[in-house]
Amino acid sequence: MTPPDLGIALVILPLTGALLAFLIHPHARWIGISTALAINIVLAWLLTDLVTSPQSYHYALGSWGAPLGIELHLDGLSAFMLMMSAVTGSGVSLYAFTCFRMQSTENDHSPAFWPLWLFLWTGINALFLSADIFNLYVTLELIGLAAVALTALAGSRAALTSAMRYLLISLLGSLCYLLGVALLYHTYATVDLTLLAGRITAQPATQAALALITVGLLLKSALFPLHFWLPPAHGSAAAPVSALLSALVVKASFYLLLRLWLELFHPIHNLMPDLLGILGAAAIIWGSLQALRQIRLKLLIAYSTVAQLGYFFLVFPLTAGQSGEMSSSAWQGVLYMLLAHALAKSAMFLAAGNIQLFGGHDRIIELDHIAQRLPLTLAAFSLAGISIMGLPPSGGFIGKWLLLEVAIAQGRWGYAMIILLGGLLAAGYIFKVIGYAFTQGQMEDSISETHPVPTVMQWAALALASGSILLGWYPAPLLELLAIGDPFHFLHPSP
């Protein structure tokens, strides 16, 4: 099989698994875990072929190419994102395989979780492979609808309220994006990214489309001050769902904005990069301060996501109008941070789920004796925290270092200080949790109120957290993967 065929298989496999999990729901979890294994095998095959023959690929579905048909595009950037979804999704799947068995029969959500999760995985993989802006809209809608349904899965009043708010925001973001697509199609008579890149010019219709698409994707990415829907949704959902929302769903919207920026909008940016940089810096400070104020662990992690998302948007002002190796390093740094964040944040939410199962709550002030009773879970949270803080030798450190290096080289000292301050604030809320976990209380007061946490659930969180640390040891192969197909071609100076 060729790389395009393998790419299509990465869409067909989770879609087939979702249908089977829905139709044969008593065996949904076995179908889900088998699908995750199959996706990883296909992805390993794809990455091997891609590294052996490093080039980008286009594939016209049904042999109908642009401008009428749907084309898929596979390069190092899309392969990198597919790898992120596979690794994170597999860890969460392993956790969910056992997690839902711990619930009572009437509260068992696994028959609904697995088809929705695999449907979400289908949309995510399809988005990373899509090569036209309308098909990107379709995949974005699939992701949004599946994510909303997963958020409501917990069934509590807070979860249902958060899911309804999430649905409305998702629809508003999709509407803005679709209006932008309509403007581009009306102006240039195509939705294919390659054809648009050759025709797009800085005219009022293009500027309006850029604004609409950007606002729609910022709503879905939860960039400050459009983040208000994220903490309630992530904080009230089931632990595996919170991990997926933070690690993958918001990343899909950012990837789409990134891809459109790389392919279309970089020549006509005007003031947009500086605005995104300011909002990103504000997100880092605001999200971190809110995380410090939280009394519930899951809400702390959710606000940490708001803060960490801000780092991703610093790359736009740092690369606007720039070319050369340093600007390319900034893009690579933010994508490396993207992967490290996905692993670390999913591990944190899974660790929070273990703690909630163990003690029946996630109140930070009452986390005493977690270190003694759940050492693997606390180790997972701590290792993930190292990456979130950006300490060596983690993947988060590699990403932040590359961004910091570019900011200093360009004399953007404000952004450099924000990157450093964000790391200090992250240390504050991470050590706040660890400190309470080691607090000595009355052991006998909590023994009767605790519940056993399966070892598989603890190891799943620890494996993801360890992955975020191992990224710091072997950055070169992943950075080489990102360069396949030269997605950052416009940064190269003209000869």
- pLDDT tens-digit series, residues 75-84: 888 999 999 9
Last residue of a domain, one of 268, 301, 336: 268
pLDDT at residue 425, as a whole number: 94
392 and 438 both lie in a single domain: yes
pLDDT at residue 104, as a whole number: 47
172 and 294 both lie in a single domain: no
pLDDT band at 71; cut points 50, 70, 90: confident
pLDDT at 445 over 50: no
164 and 253 both lie in a single domain: yes
Mean pLDDT of 220-232: 89
Contact call for residues 93 and 154 (beta carbons, < 8 A): no
Mean pLDDT of 103-126: 80
199 and 62 both lie in a single domain: yes
Mean pLDDT of 60-86: 80
pLDDT band at 99; cut points 50, 70, 90: confident
264 lies in some domain: yes
Give the global pTM: 0.91
Mean pLDDT of 234-250: 90
Rg (CA), the chain: 22
pLDDT at 58 over 80: no
207 and 310 both lie in a single domain: no
196 and 328 both lie in a single domain: no
pLDDT at residue 108, as a whole number: 58
264 and 290 both lie in a single domain: no
pLDDT at 17 over 90: yes
pLDDT at 240 over 80: yes
pLDDT at residue 284, as a whole number: 95
29 and 54 both lie in a single domain: yes
d(CA 433, CA 348): 11
Mean pLDDT of 254-272: 80
**C-alpha dist (Å) from residue 267 to 207, 436, 488:** 11, 50, 13
164 lies in some domain: yes
pLDDT at 101 over 80: no
pLDDT at residue 62, as a whole number: 62
278 lies in some domain: no
- Percent of the chain residues past pLDDT 90, beyond the cut: 44
Find all residues with CB under 8 Å of 427, minimum gap 6, and list them. 389
pLDDT at residue 301, as a whole number: 94
What total number of domains does the chain contain?
Answer: 2
321 lies in some domain: yes
Choice between 369 and 207, residue whose per-residue pLDDT is larger: 207
pLDDT at 449 over 70: no
301 and 408 both lie in a single domain: yes
Structure tokens at 337: 């941070």
260 and 341 both lie in a single domain: no
Choice between 78 and 366, residue whose per-residue pLDDT is larger: 78
Q: What is the mean pLDDT of the chain?
A: 86
Mean pLDDT of 189-207: 82
pLDDT at 266 over 80: no
E-only strand ranges, 112-222: none
pLDDT at 447 over 50: no
Contact call for residues 368 and 439 (beta carbons, < 8 A): yes
Mean pLDDT of 8-31: 90
Q: Phi and psi at residue 56, in whole multiples of 5°? A: -90, 160
297 and 258 both lie in a single domain: no
210 and 342 both lie in a single domain: no
End-to-end CA distance of the chain: 38
Strand partners, 132: 192
Mean pLDDT of 28-34: 90
Distance between alpha carbon 10 and the CA centroid of its chain, in Å? 18
Contact call for residues 95 and 13 (beta carbons, < 8 A): no
- Percent of the chain residues past pLDDT 70, beyond the cut: 90
pLDDT at residue 331, as a whole number: 84
Domain that holds residue 1: 1-268
pLDDT at residue 103, as a whole number: 58
pLDDT at residue 494, as a whole number: 46
